[in-house]
Amino acid sequence: MAFVDAGARAVFAPQSAIRDVEAAPFFDAVLARVRRGEAPAAALRDERVAQAARLGARSWVRDVLLFE
């Protein structure tokens, strides 16, 4: 919550351990969507769907939380 209190529009936080090689492409894609004007929640949802096909339906992307 410190990030939100400091002025962050949104904070994405994984609840489980993730591998760096998987994290960077996922979060880069989510941030690109947000920068294009998508709402953070919609960006997270849409990228989860896109990445689930690549990483598997039970992957860590389901454990990413959003704080706004």
Instruction: State percent of the chain over pLDDT 70.
Output: 97
Tell me which residue range forms the domain holding 13. 2-67
What is the spatial distance between Cα 23 and Cα 5, in angstroms, rounded to a whole number?
A: 25
Q: Which residue has better confidence, 3 or 29?
A: 29
Specify the pLDDT at position 51: 83
How sure is the predictor about 57, in pLDDT bands with cuts at 50, 70 and 90? low
What is this structure's pTM? 0.80
pLDDT bracket for residue 10 (50, 70, 90): confident
What average pLDDT does this structure show over 44-60? 82
Residue labelled with tokens 């609840």? 15
Q: Structural domain tally of the chain?
A: 1
